Amino acid sequence: MPYDYEKNGQAIYDESFATIRREAELSGFDQDEEQVVVRMIHAAGMVGLEKFVKFTPGMVAAARNAMENGAPIFCDARMVSGGVTRPRLPANNDVICTLHADGIHELAKEMGNTRSAAALEHWRDRLGGSIVAIGNAPTALFHLLNMLEDPDCPRPAAIIGCPVGFVGARESKDALWQDQPVPCMIVEGRLGGSAMTVAAINAIASRKE
């Protein structure tokens, strides 16, 4: 065979995480945050990502405690909800994406907004104490922040704000970081996406690497 390569899955996994910890600058994170950032770097294949990841104090603990108490996890896209490793979830938590729920297209037209934003209206009654994970749509994050301006809107336990893209992604995350309506984390700038968001969920869900 012309190519020789590592064939042991566990060895590949272990060396990947060891490489990240050798190469990434992780000194600015506490132990819980570091675990999340390492998994995000692993998902993105990008040492240096750590420079863009920010947590409010105690965010990981707040999100993990909510999960352990059975909180649902609301996701803006199927790529996020589908990537969550269910065996890692501490309480068989519901993982919910309503982007394709009945009536979303019509509701989006009525609202004059995207389907991603309209889908959040299906979360409103269950937001209290939940985890919100937004990895694709800046409009979803902006709409969530607008929803939370209403004092009667239930408050999630934590927000993972990692929408990706060139229009509104940076601005929506900057707005989340400025408002900090609940404990939250972001990836600054245009970076983000499903893989990073899923990695954050999976790391929070279980301390097992």
Gap between the Cα atoms of 106 and 203, Å rounded: 36
Task: Classify strands 95-96 and 73-75 as parallel, antiparallel or unpaired.
Answer: parallel
The active-site residue, picked from 42, 100, 122, 143, is: 42
| Pairwise CA distance, residues 122 & 116, whole Å | 11
Placement of tokens 């989340």 in the chain: 176
Closest of 140, 129, 170, 144 to residue 76, by C-alpha = 140
Helices (H), ranges, the chain: 9-23, 31-44, 59-68, 78-81, 104-111, 115-118, 138-148, 169-179, 194-205
Task: Fill in the DSSP letter of residue 95.
Answer: E
Catalytic residue list contains 42? yes
One DSSP character per residue, 30-87 reads -HHHHHHHHHHHHHHT-TTGGGGEEE-TTHHHHHHHHHHTT--EEESSHHHHTTS-GG
Q: Are 132 and 158 in contact (CB under 8 A)?
A: yes
Residues tagged active-site? 42
